Structure 1
């Protein structure tokens, strides 16, 4: 394989307003008016950022035992095997352009088969339909069948670049998010791939999360790559949620909650996802997952879309100053509603507006929408977990199974975390180390390299920053949850 050259200067991100490329354009071209609900990134900009950041870290630190990689999971990239160049911009997990294909799959009766094998619901969120769309619109299916076009999520693309094209691989957590991977059998599903017209030759090899992903010589000397996990699974491990029944929620642009179910896959009865939590030593652990598409993005909307705030830090003071007599509710379905609703056509709405509604009430509604959505996930997960027939290693009295561990940018907001505890009715624990995604990836690499302990030893290093205990009266909690449920009911396009 050819060696990887220095990347060109990063192009302007295709996710910026007004610059998404059209279906037939190259990865560096731009459109002035991107179609609604399309979200793309420039793979070369991603690579340039990864390489420059890794080099800065290498120069600032001491010896490196191994590299760990974590990434946006479903974001999809196709590239040329010979040149290593992307065929198109990366289609991001938030992108909804494949909704018609998903509807066709559902109409054809694929929903149960895909859920049983992959643990996923049919939705544009996942990589499978994104790959099919790219192959169709780039006319690249014949080249893919010949093995000249490769697919990968961001981790796989970065591994390819770091190793100079010697390794085309991913880990089990990322494979589990493609809608193409049989999570029980641990292999690509030939039947699903055939229906979508996706050649098996273009798919990466799937390896353990802590394992051998090759070496790189781009950072000074030869450094092994030994840890890979999708961002939410990396955060689950970074939060030391290793025991069945433990649950974490990560708050970034969206929110992703995982409840670890252990060695047995629990099939959700409440429209949640069954997924791989990790695969270590050839043994797979599973989890239930719920995805909220808009969490921190609601605050960004207040700032960039409405101009109500100059910075995210203002929202806490505004929420505290909001009129408690006003019941303004935001359903932030800007790109549809995720779990447990899975309504791709729903769009955002504000309810309860009066002449007295101001930016404080709207800011409170934006923060509170994150807590409301988390409550929906928590309730659905706990119902699934209580009904599961799988044997449990976590005893009922295990206190950690009745607590939500939180991380990510929004977890820094004391007001939001307190409101989360109030609406869930359970304690919310914020750790000292909030960058748990990076921590989980680092632990995987260190564990595989023999310089970090196993799961039990690593769990002993987890440290609590603050516990938020529920303080809201039960009657008020019930009243606010009823307002939310009514608002969601009005917003849904699927009853």
Structure 2
């Protein structure tokens, strides 16, 4: 029986293909970057055709590395950058425009107009789990209808197809103009602001309010299901799982039970907490989203909180302050001192997000004395990421009503052992790093393996997940409380810096 699983990881800057065996060992990896198109300030675009081409190339290259019979690959899972929006012609298969990337802020004015018209930013939150925001795909689609001649009429005629990156890939890989499947999965659909979280279907009231023709939208499928047979230039493999990237990482970390959480430490941080079959409406302005759904099973939900500046704060220290020449040097510099010397950095470069939501805040360095040196600042930079994570975890615990018992971690910053130990110290729970750090691709592979029968159940997947290292809390509760109080004092000092009325 074929026992290899391919994972397509289509990210913001590159596309990767990883091939796993049934024991979750990586057998082949291929990666290809794609162009970032920046036509004007605030606009970020990708070429959908280039992304599709990169998928074919990385799959072929991974297969070549493997030097095995393609028939050994039993399934493929797809994971993708979320919210990025594509519209294409169902007859020619060509995109009408470049893809509007999730980072793109061109819909800012449209969001303000719609918020005023419908009664506030949270008008659709009870149904979708999301605020009206530039991030989410539905408003990017509405902007395209408003700004590009003929697109709305094409949607009404049924000529225009809309989708996030997963839909674009599925449609093309399963036939394109020759009967391609216009599908998405529940995790990606939950990021459009158009899907009803409870019904797991497009919400008629929201579509009417935003004037979006339903015939343009893909069919919503469970994350783990048969999406059709993909044709990679003659190599045919069934697509058995599709996830948005952060949900794939949650799945790849084996967070299958309510109360389990993961944090991805990259440029920013993405923290997801599994809340089981209950879609908890956050009272702390966290996002409610679908974690995953297996075919024939209820959906599993999550709370999500994001941190804007984590790895990017280290980059700021490197590029702007010139205290280090490479990001990897920060740990050794931070270890030149025993503690932060009472120095705290609040990276509110663009205001503060969850759980504060203060757009009037700005970044600060507090507690400087003549004793302070670059080591203290390096330590404060790392600690800022741990403190921000602590604040999001506290908000999640308030919403979920249960304390976190451990935190699984992935992403580039997890190589920093000083940061991981301090994270355990301020949270008061163990921090666990897995053997396989490619958790996003692993999540897609786990889902595809489950869908194809390689894995009989979630327990079998748990058996394939292994911890590489864990960090135990090593801080006296009284000292933890003192550090937390100082951090929150510094955060409050960052408020009211910008006069929003000017």
* Equivalent residue, structure 1, for 2:245: 231
Out of 412, 415, 419, the position equivalent to 1:416 is 419
Rounded to whole Å, the distance in 1 between the matches of 2:241 and 2:318 is 36
CA deviations 1:261-300 (Å, max 9, x no partner) are 1112222222212211111123211111112223223233
* Equivalent residue, structure 2, for 1:5: none
CA deviations 1:123-159 (Å, max 9, x no partner) are 2222222222232222322222222322222212222
1:491 to 1:180, Cα distance in 2 relative to 1, 3 A: farther
Tell me how far 1:190 sits from its aligned partner.
Answer: 2.0
Tell me how far 1:320 sits from its aligned partner.
Answer: 1.6
Q: What does residue range 250-269 of structure 1 map to in structure 2 within 5 Å?
A: 250-269=264-283
8 Å contact kept, 1:94–1:293: no
Rounded to whole Å, the distance in 1 between the matches of 2:92 and 2:370 is 60
Structure 1: gaps (5+ residues): 1-9, 22-33, 388-395
* Equivalent residue, structure 2, for 1:377: 392
Corresponding position: 1:50 with 2:58:
no
Task: State the TM-score, normalized to the length of structure 1.
Answer: 0.84
Tell me how far 1:356 sits from its aligned partner.
Answer: 6.3
Tell me how far 1:344 sits from its aligned partner.
Answer: 5.9
* Equivalent residue, structure 2, for 1:478: 481
The number of aligned residues is: 457
With 480-489 and 128-137 compared, the bigger mean Cα shift is at 480-489
* Equivalent residue, structure 2, for 1:64: 73
Structure 2: gaps (5+ residues): 1-31
8 Å contact kept, 2:190–2:290: yes
* Equivalent residue, structure 1, for 2:5: none
* Equivalent residue, structure 1, for 2:227: 213
CA RMSD of aligned residues (A): 2.7
1:327 to 1:157, Cα distance in 2 relative to 1, 3 A: farther
SS, match of residue 321 in structure 1 = coil
Rounded to whole Å, the distance in 2 between the matches of 1:149 and 1:310 is 49
8 Å contact kept, 1:11–1:42: no
Tell me how far 1:70 sits from its aligned partner.
Answer: 0.6
* Equivalent residue, structure 1, for 2:261: 247
* Equivalent residue, structure 2, for 1:93: 102
* Equivalent residue, structure 1, for 2:159: 148
When you count strand as a share of all residues, which structure comes out higher? 2
1:405 to 1:136, Cα distance in 2 relative to 1, 3 A: same
Q: What does residue range 170-319 of structure 1 map to in structure 2 within 5 Å?
A: 170-282=184-296, 283-304=298-319, 306-319=321-334
CA deviations 1:205-233 (Å, max 9, x no partner) are 11111112122222442111111011111
CA deviations 1:422-466 (Å, max 9, x no partner) are 111111111111111111100111111111231122112221111
Out of 105, 127, 130, the position equivalent to 2:137 is 127
Rounded to whole Å, the distance in 2 between the matches of 1:96 and 1:133 is 11
Rounded to whole Å, the distance in 2 between the matches of 1:131 and 1:354 is 51
SS, match of residue 327 in structure 2 = coil
Corresponding position: 1:441 with 2:444:
yes
* Equivalent residue, structure 2, for 1:6: none
Tell me how far 1:111 sits from its aligned partner.
Answer: 4.3
* Equivalent residue, structure 2, for 1:162: 173
Rounded to whole Å, the distance in 1 between the matches of 2:43 and 2:489 is 29
Corresponding position: 1:464 with 2:473:
no
Rounded to whole Å, the distance in 2 between the matches of 1:327 and 1:111 is 38
Task: State the TM-score, normalized to the length of structure 2.
Answer: 0.83
1:369 to 1:146, Cα distance in 2 relative to 1, 3 A: farther
* Equivalent residue, structure 2, for 1:83: 92
SS, match of residue 235 in structure 2 = coil
8 Å contact kept, 2:340–2:377: no
Rounded to whole Å, the distance in 1 between the matches of 2:352 and 2:163 is 26
8 Å contact kept, 1:96–1:344: no
With 312-321 and 90-99 compared, the bigger mean Cα shift is at 90-99
8 Å contact kept, 1:99–1:344: no
8 Å contact kept, 1:76–1:154: yes
Corresponding position: 1:368 with 2:377:
no
SS, match of residue 437 in structure 2 = coil
With 430-439 and 121-130 compared, the bigger mean Cα shift is at 121-130
SS, match of residue 96 in structure 2 = coil
Rounded to whole Å, the distance in 2 between the matches of 1:490 and 1:102 is 30
1:266 to 1:309, Cα distance in 2 relative to 1, 3 A: same
Corresponding position: 1:20 with 2:20:
no
Rounded to whole Å, the distance in 1 between the matches of 2:397 and 2:361 is 25
Rounded to whole Å, the distance in 2 between the matches of 1:454 and 1:182 is 28
With 223-232 and 333-342 compared, the bigger mean Cα shift is at 333-342
CA deviations 1:400-427 (Å, max 9, x no partner) are x511111122112111111111111111
